[in-house]
Structure 1
Amino acid sequence: MKYEVHAEGKFQFIDEGKGETLLLLHGLFGALSNWDGIIECFSDRYRVLIPLLPIYELPPREAGLDALLDFLEAFVVFKNLTNMTVLGNSLGGHIGLLYTLKNQENVQRLVLTGSSGLFENSMGGSFPKRGSYEYIRERVAYTFYDPEVATKDLIDEVFETTSSIPKCMSIVGIAKSAQRHNLAKDLYKIKVPTLLVWGLNDTITPPHVGYEFNRLIAGSELHFIDKCCHAPMMEHPDKFNVIVERFLEKHVSVPVE
């Protein structure tokens, strides 16, 4: 991690650059470092803000999307954020959708990449298996088209997390909550400009999921990246950033008076 992680109250976050806010939301096994490419590309003219979602800190009985949405809303209020562009990957996209549906007046644009909310093949079809490093290595590699993107540091981080029984219980609880929170019937309510960036080889939220989001969110814009799986911003950061930049320029934010 090459960026400073700030701690204020109950929140931990990266806060780089100045200007209009890009609020970035990581996935279930994600980390703040997943967005390094966005920070490098955009922090010279945007404020890039990445909260660490308390996925592993939630008590197992509370582990679910409602608690994560409450946390995000509290963070936005705590940082006094308005006029945001919300970007979410995987579970982070799902949380971003829930936030936007509830607080649409506070969101200028929405960017989803490999988002859950309609269908997801969690961990490649199974939940975390404690104690098996090889299993975790395979599951992390499954997230990427090029298995080499799954570095040893990333695998070690996930392995350490899934070696904890309480953390495993939280992961399973959140994954099941995500599967229950299907948003198909609500997506028509989203009126903000929406960008969908999908890996053409995504095995967790396959391409048909991107097409379905595109169909259900009126006026949304869908792009695919070839030889790319579930985390385009990590596998092809340059291509991802070009698509995002064009979208931001196309839908210029209007400051709130």
Structure 2
Amino acid sequence: MPFRQPHHLVVALCLGLAAPGPASAHEPASPDPRSEIVYHVSIGAPGEVPLVAVNGGPGFDHSYLVNEPVWKEMSARRQIIFYDQRGTGKSPPARSPDDMTVDGMVRDLEALRQALKVERIDLLGHSFGGIISMAYAARYPRHVAHLVLVGSGAAKPAEHEFLFDKLYPDIVATIPPDSSPAGQMGCIAIDAYDRMSYYDQRNRALESGDPGTFSQQVCTEVMLDAMKVDLYPALATLDIPTLVINGRFDANVSPTVAYKISQTIPGARLVYFERSGHSPQVEEPEKFALEVERFLAGSVRR
């Protein structure tokens, strides 16, 4: 999915995409204690359980997410950690092809948790960050106190559903085809996708600050791996309090995707934001902060 600014899940739109191979059953190995820690920033006062926010992409750094105004209010009550995924922003580059996989992203997130010296984290994933968050929760459930998925990509990315052509057929018709590997994986920046990502186009002006950087190479390599992933079987046995949030008019992530995730994770709560597209935290920030804060203040299953 090509995008001009880093607000979104990146998954192939092309109808000609080859069918992916079977889902990988490989689990990531424990992080190497000598491994480099991804670059991260913290806002708010440290507490027992920090909220780690995982931005979308893949290939974007954390800038777009940390610059959204809603976090300033929320950080008055909790510590929030943002980080650059490997190969993006100020984080180290990939050391091997295995780093540019969903498992590699999970290993880096676990290494970050260990560096923070906390036993558990609250985990919030936006867009493709939701896929990383689900994969981490499935691999390390005892280290996740709460799981929040915001406009998350499908737990099986090869089956992800978009609504671009349904809601914006006139705009989609203007996008030229791209048969390159990056184009096939949706890793090409095109202004049109930013225009299709809001419930109200006037809300584009609410985005502020540095939009950050984008690595086409990271995007392409990680997406090639993600197309082989199926997290649904693992999610069906997950015992973590989970909140699933989706914009009712999210063209990037069809509401059907959020519904299936919420129906798969036992006890998950689903909230649709009726005046939002792909970023409810931008278009309905007050409701977003209220829903997330109430959820995080709730009980934790053990």
Identity over aligned pairs, percent: 23
1:47 aligns with 2:88: no
Which has the larger displacement, 240-249 or 104-113? 240-249
Which has the larger displacement, 238-247 or 112-121? 112-121
Tell me the TM-score normalised to structure 1 length: 0.79
2:187 to 124, 128, 138: 128
Gaps of 5+ in 2: 1-35, 166-182
Q: Which amino acid aligns with 1:128?
A: C
Q: Residue 23 of structure 1 corresponds to which residue in structure 2?
A: 52
Q: Residue 172 of structure 2 corresponds to which residue in structure 1?
A: none
Give the structure, 1 or 2, with the largest relative contact order (CA under 8 Å, sep 6 or more).
2
Q: Residue 67 of structure 1 corresponds to which residue in structure 2?
A: 104
Deviation per CA, 1:83-141: give whole Å up to 9, x if none: 32111011111111111111111111110011122343589686233xxxxx6211223
Q: Which amino acid aligns with 2:41?
A: I
1:14 to 9, 32, 41: 41
Q: Residue 100 of structure 1 corresponds to which residue in structure 2?
A: 137
CA contact (8 A) 2:197 2:252 kept: yes
Once the two structures are TM-superposed, the CA of residue 210 in structure 1 deviates from its matched residue by 1.1
CA contact (8 A) 1:114 1:199 kept: yes
> Structure 2 vs 1, CA of residues 155 and 136 (structure 1 numbering), >3 Å: closer, same or farther?
farther
Once the two structures are TM-superposed, the CA of residue 153 in structure 1 deviates from its matched residue by 8.3
1:90 aligns with 2:127: yes
The 2-side partners of 1:145 and 1:59 are apart by 40
More helix by share: 1
> Structure 2 vs 1, CA of residues 225 and 123 (structure 1 numbering), >3 Å: closer, same or farther?
closer
1:185 aligns with 2:233: yes
Q: Which amino acid aligns with 2:40?
A: F
The 2-side partners of 1:27 and 1:55 are apart by 14
Q: Which amino acid aligns with 1:110?
A: L
The 2-side partners of 1:192 and 1:66 are apart by 20
Aligned length: 235
CA contact (8 A) 2:129 2:152 kept: yes
Q: How does 1:103-114 map to 2 (within 5 A)?
A: 103-114=140-151
Once the two structures are TM-superposed, the CA of residue 58 in structure 1 deviates from its matched residue by 3.4
The 2-side partners of 1:246 and 1:25 are apart by 20
More strand by share: 1
Q: Which amino acid aligns with 1:21?
A: P
Q: Residue 214 of structure 1 corresponds to which residue in structure 2?
A: 262
1:144 aligns with 2:191: no
CA contact (8 A) 2:163 2:250 kept: no
Gaps of 5+ in 1: 1-8, 130-134, 162-166
Secondary structure at the aligned position of 2:124 is classed as strand
> Structure 2 vs 1, CA of residues 89 and 68 (structure 1 numbering), >3 Å: closer, same or farther?
same
Once the two structures are TM-superposed, the CA of residue 54 in structure 1 deviates from its matched residue by 2.1
Deviation per CA, 1:65-90: give whole Å up to 9, x if none: 12111111111111112232111011
Deviation per CA, 1:201-224: give whole Å up to 9, x if none: 111220011110111011000000
The 2-side partners of 1:232 and 1:60 are apart by 35
CA contact (8 A) 2:38 2:108 kept: no
Q: What is the CA RMSD across the aligned residues, in angstroms?
A: 3.0
CA contact (8 A) 2:161 2:256 kept: no
CA contact (8 A) 2:64 2:211 kept: no
> Structure 2 vs 1, CA of residues 30 and 170 (structure 1 numbering), >3 Å: closer, same or farther?
closer
Tell me the TM-score normalised to structure 2 length: 0.68
The 2-side partners of 1:193 and 1:92 are apart by 18
The 2-side partners of 1:107 and 1:232 are apart by 23
> Structure 2 vs 1, CA of residues 172 and 60 (structure 1 numbering), >3 Å: closer, same or farther?
farther
Q: Residue 180 of structure 2 corresponds to which residue in structure 1?
A: none
The 2-side partners of 1:59 and 1:168 are apart by 17
